[in-house]
Chains A and B, each alone.
Chain A
Amino acid sequence: MLAYVARRLGALVMILFGSSFIIYNLTAFSADPLEELRTSTAPNREQLIINLTRELRLDLPPPVRYFIWLRGVLGIFVGKADFGQTRDTQPVISEIALALPITVRLIFVSTIVAIILGIGLGITSALRQYSRFDYAMTFFAFLLYSLPIFWVAVLLKQFLAIDFNDFLVSAQISLPTIIFASIVVGFFWAAIFSGTRKRVFLIFSGAFLVNVIFLSILSAAKWFLNPTLGPFLILIAAIGIAFGVTYLSVGLENKSVVKSALFCAAFASIIYFPAQVLLDSNRPRVGIMLLFVALVGIALMGSILFNQIDRGPIIRTNVITVTIIGLLIVVDKLMQAWRPYIQSDDINYRPISTFGQSTSWLNEVPFWVRFLDIVLHMILPTIALTLISFAGYIRFSRGTLLEVLNQDYIRTARAKGLNERTVIMRHAFRNTMIPLTTIMVTDIAAIVGGAIITEQVFGWYGMGTLFNKAITSFDLNLLMGVILFLSTLAILANLIADLLYSVLDPRIRVGAGK
């Protein structure tokens, strides 16, 4: 294994060398940084040209310049890498150090969201093969495949950001909107739980009514101006989560598991009160960490108290339950920051931002407001990136699950008399996950490209913006720096996926010779 990783890392270095050589020379031969000066009318034109030529070493042929650049970069092995300077004499590395975390954050969050949503929808679609839901999902996925991301991004700006901000003025949802949204929700659930016509109609009207009531309450209470979950709603949600997670992981027949999950849910909801103190303290990051440690403690305690045998899956169930509840508590905390946030002068009741990656605050603001600010800035770019990348996950997880369901071991599992839930969740779902690692890799390469465009539309200061700047200002050092980091990111993702693959699937042994 180690030898394999070492070999792959060696290959990585070679590939980076090759691709950077291609790009460097391609750019150096095609770009002419002197072009602007040649046509200029400045009196000291000759002198400027000589200066720039000396500065950028334009007297040397591009391949030679490449190796000068490479010598600086290779310094990374002796501890002092030199990526050169940008045209405005900043060190390239410090520019990238500013931009890289922002891009990585965007890519990371949207990949996670895309994976969760895409797999969920894909699997539901596979389990309802040839239903209307399945056809709708197929069409939806194709539509997403064909969407230009920059177009989507501009639409999101208009319809989500500007319209939502306008809506916040009154925070009241109009009746047609409520009814339309409820019809959509009703159709969604009815399509998922298809069955006889009567059943479909019942589910549709049920979902429709619940949604109408829910939205009306939100509208009447002007919830969006002052959103909150509060301990009571969290408790109700926690009980629901406990049942849901238990149903999916081990089934509701096992009473002791249900009891322990409910115990965890109740305890986690009680934790809500001490958590407020922790999260309000002046070290909120430590607070969040302590909260999750306490929650995992509860999960362990719950499984020890209520179950004597087969603790593994039960601990897993409980940990998933409390993690979701913990996230709810954090979300609630963020909601509490909403009011001061939208009232602040910098925001002035227009919270969903369409520009930049965070607000530059005029005065000091609390941690939670800053956190909320970053989250709100991330919403639109994340949705845009997720939309274009999760189509792949829908199609792929659907196809893989259908293939897995045709395997002999699924037939064996059914023949043993296992119930459908166990067959799907234990036998089929897990084997569906394995090939998904391969698509994650190609997706990350695509999402890097998408991030470049998204950053442009939303005015983020990330790698995409740097890249843009580098190309338009003929800044070869900056360009090479950006490309080097982005391709390293893509290749490392590739390597990680390969390793994951071998961990998940024992049939595949990496580095086991030819």
Chain B
Amino acid sequence: MARKTNKSSNETEVVLESNENAIFNKETEGLSQSQIIIKRFVRHRAAMVALFFFTTLVVLVYTALDWRIGDPRNPRFTIPGWWRYGFEDMPDLLSEGCSEGTLGCPTIDFVPFVDGDGVQLGQHPFGQDNVGRDYFALVMRGAQRSILVMFIIGLIATTIGTIVGSLAGFFRGWTDALLMRLVDFIITIPVIIIGSVIGFYFGNKGAAFLGLLLGLFSWTGLSRLVRGEFLSLREREFVDAARVAGATTRRIIFKHILPNAIGVIIVSVTLLMSGAILLETALSFLGFGVTSPDVSLGLLISNYQDAFTTRPWLFWYPGIFIIAIALCVNFIGDGLRDAFDPRQRRRLTKKDKENAREINSRDQVA
């Protein structure tokens, strides 16, 4: 700020200095805490774009393939997906549009007009794998599994982490000591190691089960944060007030302290989830996660990493989906962090500066 030397901007700075608070106070006038937070979050452009993109992605991914309720071989009834292939179908390998010697290359076309066809999906937008399975369907299935594991890990880790953290922080003493030693035991082992051990022995029991077990070991970081938050919140006056009013311990924890710690929890859960999808894909890549015949994004990359020179699309698409999902979750988390942080102030826009001038002139008149 000090860099700007021309006069008019200098004046604006001075005006801003005095009215910055006024602007921000005016913005939050008459709003409740949660309304302020939602307002801040909605204004975070990157987070909103990410949220929109992520929601679209999840809807697209989960509606693409048929849902078979009951036994997958002989389903009781089927909800049809919008994509023409299933991930187990094996249509013939097509050589349409491929260079010499390769089969099943992607038919998706992003470039309008130049090559005549215009933007189109084609028969197999992401190509086909070795045996002709439609790669788009495979990637959709993989993304379904990966997102499922991500949400399960998030859910389990949030529940356990919050409960353990609040108990340790609220009761202190030996409860705290005991629980935190347990956290220490788990946190010292790199998560990929625990994940591999679990994944290798239980990975064949399905993606949901894998997510459940991984969730059982991913809550430690969160519980430390929640504990810290509880340790400081429990000393505040409103807790004393509640206690004097005769509130039970359970009520104090859930009704009085927890809502105040929700910011910390939500933010670290989003970060935990973006870590979770990377963990799941890494484990599947190493062969310790989701195993075939089921499909996961990491598994797809692992299967086709050697095909990179001849059929790079088999490698690109699953990777892009992993990055897209993780990136969206990270940006949403960033937006939430900014929204929950009371110290956070957005950058002043031109409009704000005009408002500031207006307020200033009004003050001078008065």
Contact = CB atoms under 8 A, between A and B. Distances in A.
B254 interface: no
Contact of B190 (A21, A445, A472): A445
Interface stretch (A88-96, A271-279, A482-490): A482-490
A13 to B, nearest CB: 12
B131 interface: no
Which one of A27, A31, A147, A471 has the highest number of Cβ atoms from chain B below 10 Å of its Cβ? A471
Contact of A448 (B190, B286, B298, B334): B190
Interface string A471-500: 110000001000100110011000000000
A23 B305 contact: no
Interface in A442-469: 445-446, 448-449, 452-453, 456-457, 467-468
A141 B163 CA distance: 32
Given A26-B198, A142-B334, A148 B192 contact: no
A42 to B, nearest CB: 24
A148 B193 contact: no
B196 A487 contact: no
Contacts of A157: 308
A43 B202 CA distance: 30
B286 A15 contact: no
A148 B191 contact: no
Contacts of A213: none
Contacts of A471: 196-197, 200, 288
Interface in A143-162: 143, 145-151, 154, 157-158, 162
Nearest to A145: B330
B319 interface: yes
Nearest to A129: B347
Interface string B326-344: 1100110010000000000
Interface string B276-300: 0010011001111000000000100
A513 to B, nearest CB: 17
Interface stretch (B79-87, B179-187, B358-366): B179-187
A34 B330 CA distance: 44
A396 B322 CA distance: 24
Contacts of A53: none
Contacts of B186: 19, 22
Nearest to A19: B185
A151 B189 contact: no
Q: Dominant SS at the A interface?
A: helix
A18 B46 CA distance: 43
A19 B181 CA distance: 10
Nearest to A14: B181
Which one of B192, B198, B281, B330 has the highest number of Cβ atoms from chain A below 10 Å of its Cβ? B192
A414 B193 CA distance: 49
A150 B192 contact: no
A487 B192 CA distance: 12
A130 interface: yes
Nearest to B280: A148
A55 B302 CA distance: 35
B309 interface: yes
A263 to B, nearest CB: 35
B223 to A, nearest CB: 15
A146 B330 contact: yes
Contacts of A254: none
Contact of B322 (A151, A452, A467, A487): A151
Given A18-B181, A130-B347, A486 B298 contact: no
A47 interface: no
Interface string A7-33: 000010011101101110011001100
A142 B331 CA distance: 8
A52 to B, nearest CB: 18
A456 B184 contact: no
Given A18-B185, A30-B202, A154-B315, A453 B282 contact: yes
Contacts, number: 127
A364 B192 CA distance: 39
B200 A18 contact: no
A414 B323 CA distance: 43
B274 interface: yes
Contacts of A468: 286
Contact of A467 (B185, B196, B285, B315): B196
A154 B347 CA distance: 40
B145 to A, nearest CB: 15
B301 interface: yes
Which one of A15, A16, A150, A491 has the highest number of Cβ atoms from chain B below 10 Å of its Cβ? A150
Contact of B193 (A15, A142, A483): A483
A456 B298 CA distance: 14
A256 to B, nearest CB: 30
B347 A452 contact: no
B315 A148 contact: no
A414 B1 CA distance: 13
B197 A26 contact: yes
A210 B319 CA distance: 36
A228 B27 CA distance: 62
Nearest to A142: B330
B78 to A, nearest CB: 33
Contacts of B193: 23, 449, 452, 467, 483, 486
A150 B189 contact: no
A369 to B, nearest CB: 29
Given A19-B186, A142-B330, A445-B190, A148 B181 contact: no
B201 interface: yes
A452 B194 CA distance: 12
B5 to A, nearest CB: 11
B188 interface: yes
A30 B201 contact: yes
Contacts of A23: 189, 193-194, 197
Nearest to A17: B185
A456 B305 CA distance: 12
A487 B188 contact: yes
Interface in B1-24: 2
Contacts of B188: 15-16, 19, 487, 490-491
A149 B331 contact: no
Which one of B198, B286, B309, B331 has the highest number of Cβ atoms from chain A below 10 Å of its Cβ? B286
Interface string B304-320: 01001100000100010
12 contacts: A22-B185, A23-B193, A146-B326, A147-B323, A148-B298, A148-B326, A149-B282, A151-B322, A449-B190, A449-B192, A486-B189, A486-B193
> What are the nearest 5 A-B pairs in CB distance?
A146-B326, A449-B192, A18-B185, A30-B201, A146-B327
Interface of A: 11, 14-16, 18-19, 21-23, 26-27, 30-31, 130, 142-143, 145-151, 154, 157-158, 162, 414, 445-446, 448-449, 452-453, 456-457, 467-468, 471-472, 479, 483, 486-487, 490-491
Given A19-B184, A147-B326, A452-B286, 19 more contacts: A16-B188, A23-B197, A27-B197, A146-B274, A146-B322, A148-B301, A148-B322, A149-B282, A150-B282, A154-B308, A158-B308, A449-B191, A449-B193, A453-B192, A456-B286, A467-B196, A471-B197, A486-B190, A487-B189
